[in-house]
Structure formats: structure tokens, C-alpha cells
């Protein structure tokens, strides 16, 4: 908890209310409250099937006068029909009532099992309890970070403090894991809080850019969830940041998102290797991302890394079916520092040594260099092993 910087004018809490059947301990309701109205921005899942809290929150951002976020874990409130919408709105309304603001000034998020109605009496009790425990301390922040977790093995917190002009500005964020983290979990949540003064429109742009280069560049098995939600509040009361000051703020938000996204990929369920895919030399960044995502989603690539198998043919062939147009002579591939495929020609290499290198490395870097332009992308994923199958084969029964 060293170097943890918290923004001014916020209080936090994370408490247990028992959303998971039979669970008597885990924190599962979190509150993040700004003392004054804040600008707010949000980015949400693109799944057509989206959870009730996503529908509710999406309509409320960007906005200039938000006061807080209420979140629960253990139940996604997704595929829950009309009752789900009533419950999501009620979570926001009850939080707002206790804090003393209008219902529309609260955002709401959930994560957990799909298709089950929330146990609302418990959730209400949890929200009241969380409101009583609100505080500005690092411990309160850590409790809130804990309360949004599902099968994550650790909390994910990142903060940045930067000097902008004569002021210090802080961005603090929490997250919970993505995709592979979850048997039916749905799925990634991240909340960022800042004491900067930023207009809602600028805040939305800052967040959109940051998410695009961070949370949208991680994948575990490519299964887009129903609940993905990233929210950013900024409660500074001075004149809104502009120009270089806004850029500097955006850079801090990007750094926080990047650190949280990497932490999610590292903590994916059952993962034994973190895989970084560097793609460069395509016509556009979008093409580079498309190639990287196709490789990241390939079960054949991921099982090969799990087995420490330097099976480069799977990587090259995944690039080949990504939908991006290229000739084999325009591609070279490295695993770590080892050149395996040079402008379309396979290179001799010591397979046993390469396998030993993969086995010994927690972090694996695959680099694909094309000769078609300046487009590039960095993408994160993890390997796929027995533990992923075990964790995902029998969750709900």
C-alpha cells in the first residue's frame, strides 16, 4: 500500500452482505462517493446482451453532476428481464437517498453469475452498511477494491499523482478481472476517481482513448461479457483542464488503466504465463490490433505456450486468418529474442532450448513485424491449461 495516492473529496467502503449463497464473509458491496458533484464518463460492453446495471449507467454518462458508484459482486444481474432493471435502478436510488442526492446522480455496476435475480433484501442491507462505513482512508479504498472481486486472486489498484500547473492532481483506480477469470463471471469492472476539474465531454474522450489502448487490448478467450464497465469520475471544482494540462491528465488516466489491465491479464484464472503480443508494421493500428487479438484468442496458440511448445506455425497461421491482408514474405516472427520466421522463411532453431526458455519465463513476448506501414499494437493475454478447463467446466452445478 506504499505510494498509494488518493484523490481529494471522495469516500469509499466495501462490506459483506451475502450475495453468494452460503457465503458469510466475502465483501460484495462497494460504494464510491464524491463529496461534491463530479464530471463522469463511462465505457461499456459492446455485447447486445448487456446486464441491467449497464443499461442504467450507460444512460447517465457523460454527465456533470454525478455523486457516486454502487457495485456488487457475486451476481451479474444480467439476463434477468424487467426485474433486473428494477433492481439495478433501486440499488442506485437507495444509495443516492442515503448519501443525499437524486437517484440519477448514482451509477451502478454488478459482476458475477448470469441469469439469477439479485437477493435484494441482502443487497439493500449491504448498501446501508456500506454507507455507514464510508471513509477517505486507504483502508476503506482497499475494502472497496476487494468488494468488486469475483474469482480474482488479489485486489487490483493503481494510482498516479501528477503536478499540473501549480496544482497536484490524482487519479486512483480499481479493477476486477476479465474473461478467463470466470466461470460464467461477467466480468470486467474498473472505476477511476480523480480530483481534477474536467468537462464531461473531455472526460469521456480521455476515458475512451485510455480504454481503447488498455482494457480493449487484453483478452483471455475472447468471450465478450455482458457486464464490462469502466467509469471515471472527476470532481475538481476549479476551471476545467484544457490543452497541455488536459493531455497530462489523460496520460495519467492512461497509465492507471494500463497498470490495471495488465494486472487483470496476469491474474487470469489458471494462467501460468502472461503473454504480450507486439504487432508492428501494418497499415493501421486497427489492423495491428486485429492480428494481435486473433492470436490472443487462439486456443492452439495458448495451449502451445502452456506446454512450453515453440510452435510458431500456430502464431503465423492465426495472423493469416485474422482478416488482415498480407503476403508471407512481409512477416517476421520472434518469440522472446529468438527469430523463428524471417520474411516468410522458417529459421533453424534449437527447439529444446526454446521450450526450456518458455518454461522458465513467466512473461512471454511474441513480436510480429510486418513491412506494410507504421501501424502497431501491444496486446495482453495468457496461456490456456488444465486449470482453465477445471475452473470453467463445472461452475453453476
Catalytic residues: 187
Residue 349 burial (CB < 10 Å; 0-12/13-18/19+)?
A: middle
Q: Is 48 a binder of its own copies (CB under 8 A)?
A: yes
Which of 50, 56, 99, 231 forms a contact with its own copies (CB under 8 A)? 50
Q: Is 307 a binder of its own copies (CB under 8 A)?
A: yes
Q: Is 92 a binder of its own copies (CB under 8 A)?
A: no
The residue among 208 and 307 lying less far from its own copies, judged by its C-beta, is: 307
The residue among 85 and 93 lying less far from its own copies, judged by its C-beta, is: 85
Contacts of 133 (CB under 8 A, 6+ apart): 13, 15, 140, 143
Q: Rounded to an integer, what distance in angstroms lies between the CA atom of residue 227 and that of residue 393?
A: 21
Q: Is 363 a binder of its own copies (CB under 8 A)?
A: no
Q: Rounded to an integer, what distance in angstroms lies between the CA atom of residue 7 and that of residue 171?
A: 6
Q: Rounded to an integer, what distance in angstroms lies between the CA atom of residue 365 and that of residue 304?
A: 14
Q: Is 286 a binder of its own copies (CB under 8 A)?
A: no
Q: With contacts defined by CB under 8 A, how many residues of the chain interact with its own copies?
A: 69
* Residue 151 · residue 57 · CB < 8 Å: no
DSSP helix/strand/coil, 161: strand
Q: Rounded to an integer, what distance in angstroms lies between the CA atom of residue 169 and that of residue 192?
A: 13
Q: Is 298 a binder of its own copies (CB under 8 A)?
A: yes
The residue among 87 and 297 lying less far from its own copies, judged by its C-beta, is: 297
Q: What DSSP string describes 337-355?
A: TEEEEETTEE----HHHHH
| Shortest distance in whole angstroms from residue 357 CB to its own copies | 11
| Shortest distance in whole angstroms from residue 87 CB to its own copies | 14
Q: Which stretch binds its own copies (CB under 8 A): 122-130, 161-169, 219-227, 367-375?
A: 219-227
The residue among 337 and 394 lying less far from its own copies, judged by its C-beta, is: 394
Q: Which stretch binds its own copies (CB under 8 A): 19-27, 91-99, 253-261, 319-327?
A: 319-327
| Shortest distance in whole angstroms from residue 124 CB to its own copies | 22
Q: Rounded to an integer, what distance in angstroms lies between the CA atom of residue 157 and that of residue 264?
A: 11
Q: Is 308 a binder of its own copies (CB under 8 A)?
A: yes
Q: Rounded to an integer, what distance in angstroms lies between the CA atom of residue 113 and that of residue 126?
A: 18
Specify the residue for cell string 532453431: 349
Q: Is 284 a binder of its own copies (CB under 8 A)?
A: no
Site string for its own copies, 112-131 (x = CB under 8 A): -xxxx---------------
Residue 122 burial (CB < 10 Å; 0-12/13-18/19+)?
A: middle
The residue among 81 and 238 lying less far from its own copies, judged by its C-beta, is: 81
Q: Is 138 a binder of its own copies (CB under 8 A)?
A: no
Q: How far is CA 226 from CA 77, 97, 149, 295, 338, in A?
A: 10, 28, 16, 23, 39
Q: Where are the strands (E) in 301-370, listed by range?
A: 331-335, 338-342, 345-346, 363-370
Q: Which candidate, 201, 207, 200, places its Cα nearest to that of 252?
A: 207
The residue among 1 and 360 lying less far from its own copies, judged by its C-beta, is: 360
Q: Which stretch binds its own copies (CB under 8 A): 205-213, 229-237, 260-268, 321-329?
A: 321-329
Q: Is 142 a binder of its own copies (CB under 8 A)?
A: no
| Shortest distance in whole angstroms from residue 179 CB to its own copies | 8
Greatest alpha-carbon pair distance for the chain in Å reads 69
Q: Is 306 a binder of its own copies (CB under 8 A)?
A: yes
For its own copies, the binding residues (CB under 8 A) are 46-50, 76, 78-81, 113-116, 183-184, 186, 221-226, 297-300, 303-304, 306-314, 316-321, 324-328, 341, 344-346, 351-352, 354-355, 384-386, 388-390, 392-397
Amino acid at each position: 500500500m506504499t505510494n498509494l495516492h488518493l484523490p481529494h473529496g471522495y469516500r469509499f467502503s466495501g462490506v459483506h452482505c451475502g450475495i453468494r449463497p452460503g457465503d458469510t464473509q466475502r465483501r460484495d458491496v462497494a460504494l464510491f462517493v464524491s463529496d461534491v458533484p463530479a464530471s463522469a464518463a463511462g465505457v461499456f460492453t459492446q455485447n447486445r446482451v448487456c446486464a441491467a446495471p449497464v443499461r442504467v449507467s450507460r444512460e447517465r454518462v457523460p454527465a456533470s453532476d454525478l455523486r457516486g458508484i454502487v457495485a456488487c459482486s457475486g451476481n451479474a444481474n444480467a439476463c434477468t428481464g424487467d426485474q433486473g432493471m428494477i433492481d439495478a435502478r433501486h440499488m442506485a436510488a437507495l444509495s443516492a437517498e442515503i448519501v443525499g442526492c437524486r437517484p440519477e446522480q448514482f451509477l451502478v455496476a454488478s459482476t458475477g453469475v448470469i441469469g439469477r435475480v439479485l437477493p435484494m433484501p441482502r443487497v439493500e442491507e449491504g448498501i446501508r452498511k456500506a454507507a455507514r462505513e464510508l471513509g477517505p482512508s486507504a483502508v476503506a479504498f482497499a475494502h472497496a477494491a476487494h468488494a468488486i472481486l469475483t474469482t480474482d486472486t488479489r485486489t487490483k489498484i493503481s494510482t498516479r499523482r501528477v503536478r499540473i500547473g501549480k496544482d497536484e492532481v490524482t487519479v486512483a483506480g480499481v479493477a476486477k478481472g476479465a474473461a478467463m477469470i470466470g466461470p460464467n463471471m461477467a466480468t470486467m469492472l474498473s472505476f477511476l476517481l480523480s480530483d481534477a476539474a474536467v468537462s464531461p465531454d473531455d472526460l469521456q474522450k480521455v476515458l475512451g482513448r485510455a480504454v481503447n489502448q488498455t482494457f480493449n487490448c487484453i483478452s483471455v478467450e475472447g468471450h465478450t461479457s455482458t457486464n464490462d464497465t469502466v467509469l471515471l469520475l472527476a470532481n475538481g471544482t476549479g476551471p476545467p483542464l484544457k490543452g497541455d494540462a488536459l493531455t497530462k491528465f489523460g496520460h495519467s488516466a492512461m497509465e492507471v488503466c494500463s497498470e490495471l489491465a495488465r494486472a487483470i491479464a496476469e491474474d487470469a484464472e489458471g494462467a501460468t504465463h502472461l503473454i504480450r503480443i507486439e504487432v508492428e508494421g501494418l497499415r493501421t493500428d486497427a489492423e495491428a490490433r486485429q492480428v494481435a487479438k486473433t492470436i490472443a484468442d487462439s486456443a492452439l496458440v495458448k495451449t502451445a505456450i502452456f506446454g512450453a511448445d515453440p510452435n510458431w506455425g500456430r502464431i503465423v497461421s492465426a495472423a493469416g486468418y485474422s482478416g488482415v491482408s498480407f503476403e508471407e514474405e512481409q512477416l517476421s516472427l520472434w518469440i522472446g529474442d529468438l527469430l523463428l520466421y524471417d520474411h516468410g522463411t522458417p529459421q533453424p532453431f534449437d527447439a529444446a532450448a526454446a521450450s526450456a526458455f518458455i518454461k522458465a519465463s513467466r512473461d512471454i513476448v511474441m513480436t510480429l513485424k510486418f513491412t506494410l506501414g507504421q501501424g502497431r499494437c501491444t496486446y495482453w493475454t495468457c496461456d490456456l491449461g488444465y486449470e482453465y478447463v477445471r475452473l470453467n467446466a463445472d461452475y453453476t452445478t
